């Protein structure tokens, strides 16, 4: 309480503030809020850091022999999965998976799929400790995994991280499947700008209604590569994958990095072709159709999604040229994979997936569609919102669902943070942050 009263008092005793034209006052307020929150959050992170990290950090260097060695699976592994009957060839379902979760790419939807699969088969997740990412934007390190012990083996790693291959490699069996998801970089940039813009201080200089257009007119004028959170607004895919997102586009390293991604990842999904991607994934992992059913999670309200026009689209692509080359490469290899899979077979399987999703929608979702945050009755179904807006949609679970589907429905609709808690992840930093935001009503 004291904070908001203090804020109010501060405004009353400063006539020059209350005399400001309204929009300007609002901006002043939101900037002050931003500074207070930023300071608080940073202190909490430092606190977390000093608590959670010290003893293990010495083992961070991945050049140590122990770093290169694969984990050694425990003897009491969960029993082998029953062979999938639905999949062709009677293959063995794969359950060791590294999902490099990129930002703003429908990756929350994929996360839900992995949570469900892991939960269903009692698999061991490598989860972060205290928050829902691995200290992003710092590089991933094994020591950040909850309950990590040298030699420990995990089945699934899927939370946000800045990728560090050697560190991840050592946590999973040698035959683990590596996947990630990309998205058209211009669209991704637009989404990231709206979602993260308010936590990137160099965008505060931008005024007027269309900040995005203004930024793209002359990005170099505003962009500061060393600015706080700058990575969100320049080649974010490259950054998340662990590379230098400010690399000179003419450098031969760009192509080397792209080829490295190709060597390391067994499948690169595309957000634009999400259903086709899931069909390829299901085939690669030898999973069943039910395993890849989904509802779109963490999506924005349509009115909050301005589409980039031709000229701005071109500029956004040019600004994120490293990501554009990455995307072009994997768009091409994606369609080669579809070709190898069989175009007709793909069309059939995509149709089957959509029918099954549609059926689940009718069974699970009250009203049959996503709704605004304010219309979500059960707090366990409230999605996490970006700072300053409530533009992320969520769902209401139907009141009466048959026993056969009740569990699947609930799991499919549970937002990421709540699902992590259900899976036993300690999220004290995230919860504290939510408390502060609720308190400031932001
Ligand atoms: C798989 O199919 C075989 C016969 O084709 C059947 O006997 C078996 O019970 C099925 N397994 C599962 C898990 O459905
Ligand atoms: C992966 O390797 C483990 C042993 O490390 C083995 O039990 C499992 O069957 C293998 N999985 C596949 C799909 O090859
Ligand atoms: C991806 O590749 C397909 C097939 O070649 C093409 O039609 C599509 O325009 C490409 N998408 C982008 C965004 O480049």
C-alpha 336 – ligand 3 centre gap (Å) = 12
Closest CA to 154 of 166, 165, 142, 137: 142
Exposure letters 270-307 (e unless 16+ CB within 10 A, then b): bbbbbbbbbbbbbbbbbbebebbbbbebbbbeeeeeee
Return the exposure string of 247-266: e unless at least 16 CB atoms fall within 10 Å of the residue's CB, then b.
eeeeeeebeebbeebeebbb
The boundaries of the domain holding residue 148 are 92-440
Q: What distance in Å separates the CA atoms of residue 109 and residue 115, rounded to the nearest whole number?
A: 10
In a domain, 19, yes or no: no
Round to whole Å and give the CA distance between 20 and 327: 46
Radius of gyration of the chain from its Cα atoms, rounded to whole angstroms:
23
The minimum-distance atom of ligand 1 relative to the CA of 85 is 1
Residue 8 lies in a domain: no
CATH classification of the domain holding 271? 3.40.50
Looking from the CA of residue 82, the nearest atom of ligand 1 is 13
Q: What's the total number of domains in the chain?
A: 1
Write the pLDDT tens digit of every residue in 222-265.
Answer: 899 999 999 999 999 999 999 999 999 999 999 999 999 999 99
Structure confidence by residue, pLDDT tens digits, 265-292: 999 999 999 999 999 999 999 999 999 9
**Which amino acid residue places its CA nearest to atom 11 of ligand 1?**
85
What strands lie across the sheet with 156-157, from one edge to the other?
Answer: 156-157, 97-100, 177-182, 267-270
Ligand 3 pocket: which of 277, 331, 333 to mutate (most atoms <8 Å of CB)?
Answer: 331
Tell me whether residue 21 is in a domain: no
What is the per-residue pLDDT for 42?
A: 61
For residue 31, tell me if it sits in a domain. Answer: no
Which amino acid residue places its CA nearest to atom 11 of ligand 3?
A: 331
Give the span between the Cα atoms of 110 and 108, in whole angstroms: 5
Q: Provide the residue-wise pLDDT of the chain in tens; the chain has 442 residues.
A: 333 333 333 333 333 334 445 555 555 666 666 666 666 556 655 544 444 443 333 334 444 444 456 777 655 555 555 555 554 567 899 999 999 999 999 888 999 999 999 999 999 999 998 888 899 999 999 999 998 999 899 999 999 999 999 999 999 999 999 999 999 999 999 999 988 888 888 888 888 778 899 999 999 998 999 999 999 999 999 999 999 999 999 999 999 999 999 999 999 999 999 999 999 999 999 999 999 999 988 777 776 666 788 999 999 999 999 999 999 999 999 999 999 999 999 999 999 999 999 999 999 999 888 888 888 888 888 887 766 667 788 888 888 888 889 999 999 999 888 898 889 887 777 777 777 767 776 5
Residue 4 lies in a domain: no
What is the three-state SS of the chain? CHHHHHHHHHHHCCHHHHCCCHHHHHHHHHHHHHHHHHHHHHHHHHHHHHHHCHHHHHHCCCCCHHHHCCCCCCCCCCCCCCCCCCCHHHCCCCCCEEEECCCCCCHHHHHHHHHHHHHHCCCCECCECCCCECCCCCECCHHHECCCCCCCCCCEECCECECCHHHHHCCCCCCCEEEEEECCHHHHHHHHHHHHHHHCHHHHHCCCCCHHHHHHHCHHHHCCCCCCCHHHHCCHHHHHCCCCCCCCCCCCHHHHHHHHHHHHCCEEEEHHHHHHHHHHHHHHHCCCHHHHCCCCCCCECHHHCCCCCHHHHHHHHHHCHHHHHHHHHHHHHHHHHHHHHCHHHHHHHHHHHHHHHHHHHHHHEHHHCCECHHHCCCHHHCCCCCCCCCCECECCECCCCCHHHHHHHHHHHCCHHHHHHHCCCCCHHHHHHHHHHHHHCC
pLDDT given for residue 425 in this prediction: 86
What residues contact residue 97 under an 8 Å CB cut-off, 6+ apart? 114, 155, 156, 157, 158, 172, 176, 177, 178, 179, 285
Ligand 1: distance of its center to the CA of 91 in Å? 13
Distance of alpha carbon 320 from alpha carbon 162, whole angstroms: 18
Position 270 in a domain: yes
d(CA 396, CA 413): 8
pTM of the shown model: 0.80
Report how far residue 179's alpha carbon sits from residue 271's, in angstroms, rounded to the nearest whole number: 13
Closest ligand, as measured to the CA of 290: 1
| Assigned domain for 126 exists | yes
How far apart CA 442 and CA 1 sit, in angstroms, is: 14
pLDDT at residue number 297: 82
Strands 97-100 and 156-157: parallel
Q: Report d(CA 173, CA 411) in Å as an integer.
A: 27
Give the count of beta carbons closer than 10 Å to the beta carbon of residue 327. 24
Task: Let me know if residue 123 belongs to a domain.
Answer: yes
Ligand closest to the CA atom of residue 73: 2
Ligand 1: lining residues by beta carbon, under 6 Å:
82, 85
Q: Is the CB of 331 under 6 A from ligand 3?
A: yes
List all residues 6 or more positions away from 328 whose beta carbon is below 8 Å from its beta carbon.
none
> Would you say the CB of residue 44 lies under 6 angstroms from ligand 3?
no
For the segment 300-339, what is each residue's pLDDT rounded down to a tens digit? 777 666 678 899 999 999 999 999 999 999 999 999 999 9
Query: For residue 94, which atom of ligand 2 is closest to its CA?
Result: 13
């Amino acid at each position: 309480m004291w904070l908001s009263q203090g804020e109010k008092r501060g405004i009353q005793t400063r006539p020059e503030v209350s005399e400001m034209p309204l929009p300007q006052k609002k901006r002043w307020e939101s900037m002050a809020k931003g500074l207070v929150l930023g300071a608080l959050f940073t202190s909490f992170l430092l606190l977390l850091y000093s608590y959670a990290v010290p003893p293990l950090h010495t083992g961070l260097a991945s050049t140590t022999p122990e770093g290169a060695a694969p984990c050694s699976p425990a003897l009491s592994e969960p029993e082998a999965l029953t062979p999938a009957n639905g999949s062709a060839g009677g293959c063995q379902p794969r359950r060791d998976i590294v999902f490099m979760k990129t930002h703003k790419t429908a990756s929350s939807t994929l996360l839900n799929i992995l949570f469900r699969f892991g939960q269903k088969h009692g698999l061991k997740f490598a989860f972060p400790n205290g928050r829902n990412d691995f200290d992003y934007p710092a590089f991933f390190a094994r020591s950040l995994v909850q309950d990590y012990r040298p030699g420990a083996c995990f089945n699934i790693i899927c939370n946000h991280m800045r990728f560090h291959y050697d560190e991840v490699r050592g946590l999973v069996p040698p035959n683990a499947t590596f996947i990630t998801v990309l998205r058209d970089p211009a669209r991704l940039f637009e989404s990231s700008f709206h979602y993260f813009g308010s936590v990137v201080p160099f965008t505060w200089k931008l005024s007027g209604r269309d900040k995005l257009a203004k930024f793209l007119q002359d990005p170099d004028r505003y962009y500061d590569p060393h600015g706080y959170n700058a990575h969100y607004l320049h080649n974010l895919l490259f950054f998340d994958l662990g590379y230098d997102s400010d690399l000179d586009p003419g450098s031969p390293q760009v192509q080397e990095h792209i080829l490295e991604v190709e060597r390391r990842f067994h499948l690169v999904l595309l957000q634009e072709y999400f259903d086709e991607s899931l069909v390829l994934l299901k085939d690669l992992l030898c999973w069943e159709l039910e395993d890849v059913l989904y509802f779109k999670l963490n999506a924005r309200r349509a009115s909050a999604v301005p589409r980039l026009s031709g000229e701005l689209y071109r500029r956004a692509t040019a600004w994120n040229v490293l990501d554009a080359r990455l995307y072009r490469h994997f768009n091409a290899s994606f369609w080669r994979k579809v070709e190898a899979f069989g175009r007709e077979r793909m069309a059939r399987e995509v149709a089957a997936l959509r029918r099954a999703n549609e059926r689940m929608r009718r069974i699970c979702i009250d009203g049959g569609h996503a709704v605004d945050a304010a219309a979500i009755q059960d707090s366990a179904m409230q999605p996490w919102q970006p700072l300053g807006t409530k533009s992320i949609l969520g769902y209401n679970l139907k009141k009466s669902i048959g026993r056969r589907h009740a569990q699947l429905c609930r799991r499919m609709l549970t937002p990421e943070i709540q699902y992590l808690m259900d899976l036993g992840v300690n999220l004290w930093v995230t919860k504290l942050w939510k408390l502060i935001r609720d308190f400031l009503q932001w």
